[in-house]
Structure 1
Amino acid sequence: MAGMTRPLRVLVVDDDALVRAGLTMMLDGARGIAVVGEAADGDQVPTAVDAHAPDVVLMDLRMPRVDGITATRRLRRRVRPPEVVVLTTFDTDENILYALRAGASGFLLKDTPPEQIVTAVRQVAAGEPILSPRVTRRLMDRVAGQADAYVRARDVLSALSPRETDVVAALARGGNNAEIAAELRMTVATVKAHVSHILTKLDLDNRTQIAMLAYEGGLA
């Protein structure tokens, strides 16, 4: 219908049928979101994505045949991959880092309140990363003590211009495009252009990976 935008399309991936049913019911009840498909294992994700063309994949980590990290990595190799939000009960440092490095745009725990999961789906679809507060704290604590990671990150970040570095630091502090624009006194379109250039220059997939690099390099 004229004047109407299509809902955000979500694929739910989890090996627990009850979890899938609960997430589907919750998300389908949210305004502007439609669950277009489900998958019970990571090896079903490529076929499901081809069939349903989701904007966002809500991805479990532990699955019998293909885990969520591997499935996420495979999705990111596509020409136009959907955004991925990992939703799991396992918040070990390794899981967090592996998932984000694989290209996930978010990492939430399954005890996250429903309204925050809905917000996360909308946020990553708009190109904004999302991490639960507990995950953010663990990530910052981990990278803070890694001298080698700091040196590597600073070397990579040295390729950026001063203004691009300002954008990276603001992004890592959790700012969305509008907030970064206000803080740095530039337009939202300019912020988006800077982020696009940064991703290309640093050979990264998404804003979450920029934020990780900023944490490692001491910009946040």
Structure 2
Amino acid sequence: MDDERDPVRIVVVDDDQLVRMALRLVLDGEPDLTVVAEAADGDAAITAVEQHRPDVVLMDVRMPGRDGISATDAILGRSAPPRVLVLTTFDSDDFVLGALRAGALGFVLKDTPPAQIVDAIRTVAAGDPALSPAATARLIAAATGPRSPEARRSVQAAAAGKLATLTARELDTARAIADGLGNAEIAARLHVSVATVKAHIGNVLGKLAVENRVQIALVVRDAED
């Protein structure tokens, strides 16, 4: 029996043609990855996903026309959606946060070394978040940064209401995720098995109505801001 898996199918979305060309050269050079389409804006990205059914969308956030946040939300709202990995610069934190709240599994910077971009795509394709601790800290800081008092109270109240639906152990698990811990580390902190941690995470995802660990962390930080 042939044990080789089909390559991860990727749609590259960026309004800069040179960026798209460079990414295609890098990704098509990997035996387990293949670029099946390119798109220059959010609308074209949605069309490409509908036509090619990729595994991963490498999504720019700032584009003319439909931006990456709106496109991410639309793509992830369809049945059996692909994973979305945000492609960004660090001067667009608000855009990145919007994409992560929409369900993107992580992000890479446009000046990231090619090998790390490849690793991030593989990680996201496997269903895991691709966020470095430093990058996560920056995003969390942006998420809890200066707001008007009214806006802060509204966001905090909404997030606190969501956390109130969790059991004590589920809340401990959510807070550990917000601290950047992996499943084994959470298990050690809570003195439970990894299987129990996974069960708690599943419950937390359902109760908070979120899609991934990044979104759990954002709810916790919003509530405790």
TM-score scaled to structure 2, two decimals? 0.83
CA RMSD of aligned residues (A): 2.6
What per-residue deviation string (whole Å, max 9, x for no partner) do you get for residues 178-216 of structure 1?
554555455555444433322221111322211211222
Instruction: Give the conservation status (yes or no) of the 8 Å contact 2:86–2:96.
Output: no
Structure 1 residues 34, 191: CA separation in 2 closer, same or farther (over 3 Å shift)?
Answer: farther
> What is the count of residue pairs matched by the alignment?
219
In structure 1, the gaps of 5 or more residues are none
Residues in 1 aligned to 2:187 and 2:127: alpha-carbon distance in whole angstroms: 15
Percentage identity across paired residues of the two chains: 53
* Counterparts of residues 46-65 of structure 1 (less than 5 Å): 46-65=46-65
Residues in 2 aligned to 1:127 and 1:191: alpha-carbon distance in whole angstroms: 17
In structure 2, the gaps of 5 or more residues are none
Following TM superposition, by how much is the alpha carbon of 1:86 offset from its aligned partner in structure 2, in angstroms?
1.1
Residues in 1 aligned to 2:167 and 2:206: alpha-carbon distance in whole angstroms: 13
Q: Which residue of 2 aligns with 1:171?
A: 177
Q: Which residue of 1 aligns with 2:2?
A: 2
* Counterparts of residues 164-203 of structure 1 (less than 5 Å): 164-181=170-187, 183-184=189-190, 186-203=192-209
Q: Which residue of 2 aligns with 1:210?
A: 216
Is 1:77 the counterpart of 2:77? The answer is yes
Of 160, 167, 180, which aligns to 1:161? Answer: 167
Residues in 2 aligned to 1:31 and 1:174: alpha-carbon distance in whole angstroms: 31
Instruction: Give the conservation status (yes or no) of the 8 Å contact 2:13–2:38.
Output: yes
Per mean C-alpha deviation after superposition, the further-off stretch among 34-43 and 123-132 is 123-132
Q: Which residue of 1 aligns with 2:136?
A: 136
Q: Which residue of 2 aligns with 1:22?
A: 22
SS of residue in 2 equivalent to 1:118? helix
Residues in 2 aligned to 1:3 and 1:184: alpha-carbon distance in whole angstroms: 38
Q: Which residue of 1 aligns with 2:115?
A: 115
Per mean C-alpha deviation after superposition, the further-off stretch among 98-107 and 143-152 is 143-152
Residues in 1 aligned to 2:117 and 2:193: alpha-carbon distance in whole angstroms: 29
SS of residue in 2 equivalent to 1:19? helix
What per-residue deviation string (whole Å, max 9, x for no partner) do you get for residues 93-117 of structure 1?
3212222222221132211222222
Residues in 1 aligned to 2:20 and 2:201: alpha-carbon distance in whole angstroms: 34
What per-residue deviation string (whole Å, max 9, x for no partner) do you get for residues 129-167 of structure 1?
233555423323231666523443222112112222232
Following TM superposition, by how much is the alpha carbon of 1:71 offset from its aligned partner in structure 2, in angstroms?
0.6
Instruction: Give the conservation status (yes or no) of the 8 Å contact 1:168–1:210.
Output: yes
TM-score scaled to structure 1, two decimals? 0.85
Residues in 2 aligned to 1:9 and 1:125: alpha-carbon distance in whole angstroms: 9
Residues in 1 aligned to 2:190 and 2:9: alpha-carbon distance in whole angstroms: 33
Instruction: Give the conservation status (yes or no) of the 8 Å contact 2:11–2:56.
Output: yes
Instruction: Give the conservation status (yes or no) of the 8 Å contact 1:108–1:135.
Output: no
